[in-house]
Chains A and B, each alone.
Chain A
Amino acid sequence: MSTTPVIDVDRLNLTYGDFHAVKDLSFQVRHGELYALLGTNGAGKTSTLEIIEGHRAPTSGTVRVLGRSPRDRRAVRPRMGVMLQESGFSPDLTVRESVRLIGRLTRRTDDVDRVLDLVDLTSRAGRRVSQLSGGEKRRLDFATAVYGTPQVLFLDEPTTGLDIQSRDALWATVDRIREDGTTIVLTTHYLEEAQQRADRIGLMHQGTLHREGTVSELTRALPAVIRFSLAPSAPRPPLQAVVDGDGKALVETFHLQKDLHLLLGWAQEHAVELPDLEAGPTRLDDVFRTLGTASHRGN
């Protein structure tokens, strides 16, 4: 397998007038990886993605996609599928016409009916795009991106507006495409999607890559959490717990397994019920929250 990165971003900068949207950003995406580019609103994700996709020229720095400049559309685009954040289909064309047109223009080959079936739009094939629901438009967008199974697939907020079934179906398709070795770059506001699926995550904040790593690398820095309810009459638990007025207790720990064992042993011994018991590692959400507070403190 090739060791050259599929996407190579090196000291990328983008300024709009006085506003420095992307600052000295560098990262790489390896072959076959699912890389999630996440960040707060206005962190510079969309600008970065647009530069990597070749829609926008950087102010400085270099970007290589499959070893080429993404501005070299003729060379790069046939190997790249793009699901844009906003649809951009003509309302007067039908679903089938849209897939056929955009599919053909990617210069990949595929069967329009196969692709429509893949995104469950076969029954809508003859409908005008203007008659589609928001979720159906997202699926149409996905269909044009995966047409001809590209080597790199950009998914910009792919599941926004999709119901659970469509979301699961979309991820099932993505999983199948990954088996063919397709590299995927994802942005999403659904952090649990990134947490479940990303091999690595780049966390952008104020135009820079604030943190990068696997989900566990990112969450490891923060304590795991144990939550439970405690009756007022119960004895004091053996752990440092914060208990609020409603009797909801919260324990933060870097030794989840040991502390959970301790808590459960104590509860058993004292015959204490622990309703609403929950324990788990820090979620990506919490990593995000620390981002926000860090910047507030910074401001």
Chain B
Amino acid sequence: MFSIASSELVQIFRNRLVLVTSLIVPVAVSALFVRQHETFADLGSLGYIAAIVMFTVAAFGLYATAVTTLASRRQNLFLKRLRSTAAADSTILAGLLLPPTAIAVVQVSAIMTALAMVAGEPTNIALLVLATVATLAMMIGLALATAGLTNSPEHAQVTTLPVTLGVIAVASWVGITGTEELTLLKRLLPGGAATELTMNAWNGGTAVADSLLLLAPTLGWVAIAVALATRLFRWEPRR
């Protein structure tokens, strides 16, 4: 797994397009939110900034990069090549997804640390970590499912839009308007419960047990995404 992961990391750093979309764009957007945190905190709360930063990295960094990478590796038959070795399918996928996931973890940690330094620390760090892990898992699952519907890296620019824009919209909606109204709908939408959990973790004021229940919809989305992925994911291009 690590030999695939390290070669994948080399490839990410050699490909400028992927480097810009996966590294620079999410960091730039997040930096803007951190810099303008007072404005955005007025609009929602500091927890909302944390959530939107997390989803920006998870959607534009991790998710879009993972879909683009998988489509590209399939299109040029690199996946088939890896499968002609002794490596198991799970090892291959883990190796391919490890670098973008690690990059996303580093980015989210760095940006949240920056936010904590300029605006004050979160109330419950453990809960925040849990929310981040659940969100990243959901996005990886969705990436595997989306990759099944994506024929080429160019095609990924279109196929990733519903999820990237969707989760950002849900995070903003939940983050700005809260979950007092339309509670069930907002929590069940992908990213809704994760946003609320992140806000609770950062802002405090909610019982931890209540917050933990919010993990359920996110984990449900992980399960749905994985189920979709097992049906949709393909290792070789369509002929």
Contact A93–B10 (Cβ < 8 Å): yes
Contact A105–B77 (Cβ < 8 Å): no
The stretch of A83-91, A224-232, A253-261 that contacts the partner chain:
A83-91
In the bound complex, CA of A86 to CA of B15 (Å): 22
Q: For chain B, what secondary structure do more than half of its interface residues adopt (helix, strand, loop), or is it mixed?
A: helix
Contact A84–B84 (Cβ < 8 Å): yes
Min CB–CB distance B222 → chain A (angstroms): 27
In the bound complex, CA of A82 to CA of B14 (Å): 28
Minimal Cβ-Cβ distance residue in A for B89: A73
Most-contacted residue by chain A among B7, B81, B88, B236 (CB, 10 A): B81
Min CB–CB distance A57 → chain B (angstroms): 12
Chain A residues, CB < 8 A from B77: 84, 86-88
A92 within 8 A of B: yes
Q: A88-B76, A88-B77 are in contact. Are A77 and B84 (CB under 8 A)?
A: yes
Chain B residues, CB < 8 A from A105: 3-4, 82, 85-87
B73 within 8 A of A: yes
Most-contacted residue by chain A among B10, B77, B86 (CB, 10 A): B86
Q: A93-B11, A105-B3 are in contact. Are A88 and B81 (CB under 8 A)?
A: yes
A78 within 8 A of B: yes
Contact B14–A101 (Cβ < 8 Å): no
B83 within 8 A of A: yes
Chain B residues, CB < 8 A from A55: 80, 83-84, 236
Most-contacted residue by chain B among A78, A104, A128 (CB, 10 A): A104
In the bound complex, CA of A104 to CA of B86 (Å): 9
Interface pairs (11), CB distance under 8 Å: A73-B86, A74-B86, A77-B86, A87-B77, A90-B73, A91-B76, A97-B7, A105-B4, A105-B82, A105-B85, A128-B14
Most-contacted residue by chain B among A53, A88, A91, A102 (CB, 10 A): A88
A182 within 8 A of B: no
In the bound complex, CA of A92 to CA of B11 (Å): 6
Minimal Cβ-Cβ distance residue in A for B80: A88
Contact B85–A102 (Cβ < 8 Å): yes
* B-facing residues in A67-120 (Cβ within 8 Å): 73-74, 77-78, 82, 84, 86-93, 97, 101-102, 104-107
Chain B residues, CB < 8 A from A91: 76
Minimal Cβ-Cβ distance residue in B for A106: B85
Q: Contact check: which of B3, B80, B86 meets A101 at CB < 8 Å?
A: B3
Contact digits for B84-104, partner A, Cβ 8 Å, 1 yes 0 no? 111110000000000000000
Contact A90–B3 (Cβ < 8 Å): no
In the bound complex, CA of A281 to CA of B73 (Å): 47
In the bound complex, CA of A97 to CA of B7 (Å): 8
The 8 closest A-B pairs by CB, nearest first: A88-B77, A105-B85, A88-B81, A77-B86, A92-B14, A82-B84, A92-B11, A107-B86
In the bound complex, CA of A91 to CA of B7 (Å): 12
With A88-B79, A101-B4, A105-B82 given, can you name 20 additional A-B contacts, CB distance below 8 Å?
Answer: A53-B84, A55-B80, A73-B88, A77-B85, A77-B86, A82-B84, A84-B77, A88-B76, A88-B77, A88-B81, A90-B76, A92-B10, A97-B10, A101-B7, A102-B82, A105-B3, A105-B85, A105-B86, A128-B14, A144-B81
Minimal Cβ-Cβ distance residue in A for B6: A101
Minimal Cβ-Cβ distance residue in B for A83: B84
Contact digits for B1-13, partner A, Cβ 8 Å, 1 yes 0 no? 0011001001100
* A-facing residues in B48-72 (Cβ within 8 Å): none
Minimal Cβ-Cβ distance residue in A for B77: A88
Minimal Cβ-Cβ distance residue in B for A53: B84
Chain A residues, CB < 8 A from B79: 88
Minimal Cβ-Cβ distance residue in A for B7: A101
Chain B residues, CB < 8 A from A74: 86, 88
In the bound complex, CA of A78 to CA of B77 (Å): 20
